[in-house]
């Protein structure tokens, strides 16, 4: 697309989610098989170009020289592939699990690119996707806007972005979003597995128990969890993502039963600051969701980085920046800015002043 045409499209939104040309659609409709492509039964991940690729050079041009220089830079480098970013290895490995699908036209995993670029400057991102041989054909380009509003429409159970503001806004709307931090990369080309690690409270579960902890102390937290041991937690931002991952684990089990040589590639771990006796409610909650994880680390205050350095997950999700500061040195890390631990801290004097004002 010429740059002039791109400039004419600067305020436009392009959504390309069909994966077929209009002529293909017409021909299919004539044959009676032109049903819409359904996403509800698949694991759908939305990923921003800022999480997928290293955009540091082009971002520097934008910040230092402005939009027009950025557009020129992207046009001049449109056929120069972008280097992999923090979420690249996770996305590539996730897509590789589509070979478990019983039909080639019914993948278990769909990845949709969600980009703040306009369609013209976004061409470099799409060219990079093709260069890296990633099976991503669906994209949303919204010049200067975050497309997270389309997360529910596309049944996306995880939205990853390197734009912290976008993630905060998405979480505030109740969407399953995560901020991809600058972290240690893990991508051994000889390793075909996918290891995913989650914190529990504020990520998979809601923050009701964490609220007890923040308003009380450790003893009160353990007493609360013991009293409610058989009561499943409410779901947190990534519950649905975990449930979809679980369906792929079940597909692997079916594959292993039919092929004795097959070795499972997907491994799911819980890495949490919980310890006994509060561990039992977490386990019972996962069972009530129909989920069985491969590993659970109940650390009781031990630094998570020590475990992650051995576990080497391709992605780790946590809601607490304090934990992630160290964890990001060991593994690709994603901040889920959800719940009480991410609320602005209010000092006692501020609380008293607010109460006086409200009376």
**Catalytic residue (one of 118, 120, 166, 199):** 199
Radius of gyration from C-alpha coordinates of the chain: 22
The phi and psi torsions of 354 (rounded to 5 degrees) equal -65, -45
Question: 2 - beta bridge partners?
Answer: none
Q: Do 302 and 292 contact (CB within 8 A), yes or no?
A: no
Neighbours of 216 (CB within 10 A): 12
Q: Is 310 helix (H, G, I), strand (E, B) or coil?
A: helix
Beta pairing class for 138-142 and 13-16: antiparallel
Helices first, then strands: H and E counts in the chain: 15, 11
What is the distance between the alpha carbons of residues 135 and 279, in angstroms, rounded to a whole number?
A: 39
Nearest 5°: the CA angle 204, 210, 215 is 165
319 as an active site residue: the answer is no
Asked if residue 226 lies in contact with residue 282, where contact means CB atoms within 8 angstroms, the answer is no
Chain position carrying tokens 């497309």: 147
Please state the length of the chain: 359
Residues with Cβ < 8 Å from 349, sequence gap 6 or more?
none
- Helix (H) / strand (E) containing 18: none
Q: Give the DSSP letter string of 191-211.
A: ---EEEEE-SBTTTB-SHHHH
Nearest to 108 by CA among 180, 170, 157, 153: 157
Known catalytic residues are 199
């Amino acid at each position: 697309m010429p740059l002039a045409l791109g400039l004419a499209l600067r305020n436009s939104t392009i959504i390309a989610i069909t994966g077929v040309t209009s002529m293909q659609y017409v021909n299919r409709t004539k044959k009676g098989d032109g049903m819409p492509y359904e996403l509800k039964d698949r694991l759908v991940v939305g990923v921003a170009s800022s999480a997928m690729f290293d955009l540091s050079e082009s971002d520097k041009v934008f910040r230092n020289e402005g939009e027009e220089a950025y557009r020129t830079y992207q046009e001049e480098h449109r056929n120069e592939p972008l280097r992999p970013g923090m979420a690249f290895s996770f996305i590539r490995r996730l897509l590789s699990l589509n070979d478990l699908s019983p039909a080639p036209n019914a993948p278990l995993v769909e990845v949709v690119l969600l980009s703040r670029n306009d369609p013209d400057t976004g061409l470099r991102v799409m060219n990079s996707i093709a260069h890296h041989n990633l099976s991503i054909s669906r994209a949303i380009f919204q010049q200067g806007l975050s497309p997270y509003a389309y997360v529910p429409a596309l049944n996306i159970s995880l939205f990853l972005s390197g734009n912290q503001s976008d993630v905060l806004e998405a979480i505030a709307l109740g969407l399953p979003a995560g901020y991809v931090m600058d972290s240690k990369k893990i991508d051994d080309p000889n390793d075909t597995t996918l290891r995913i690690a989650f914190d529990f409270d504020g990520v998979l579960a809601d923050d009701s128990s964490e609220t007890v902890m923040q308003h009380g102390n450790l003893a009160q937290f353990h007493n609360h969890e013991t009293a409610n041991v058989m009561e499943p937690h409410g779901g947190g931002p990534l519950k649905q993502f975990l449930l979809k991952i679980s369906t792929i684990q079940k597909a692997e089990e079916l594959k292993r039963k039919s092929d004795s040589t097959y070795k499972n590639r997907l491994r799911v771990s819980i890495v949490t600051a919980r310890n006994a006796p509060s561990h039992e409610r977490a386990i019972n909650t996962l069972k009530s969701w129909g989920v069985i994880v491969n590993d659970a680390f109940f650390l009781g205050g031990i630094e998570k980085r020590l475990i992650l350095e051995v576990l080497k997950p391709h992605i780790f999700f946590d809601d607490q920046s304090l934990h992630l500061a160290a964890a990001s040195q060991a593994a690709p890390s994603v901040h889920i800015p959800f719940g009480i631990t991410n609320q602005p801290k209010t000092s006692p004097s501020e609380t008293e002043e607010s109460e006086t004002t409200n009376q």
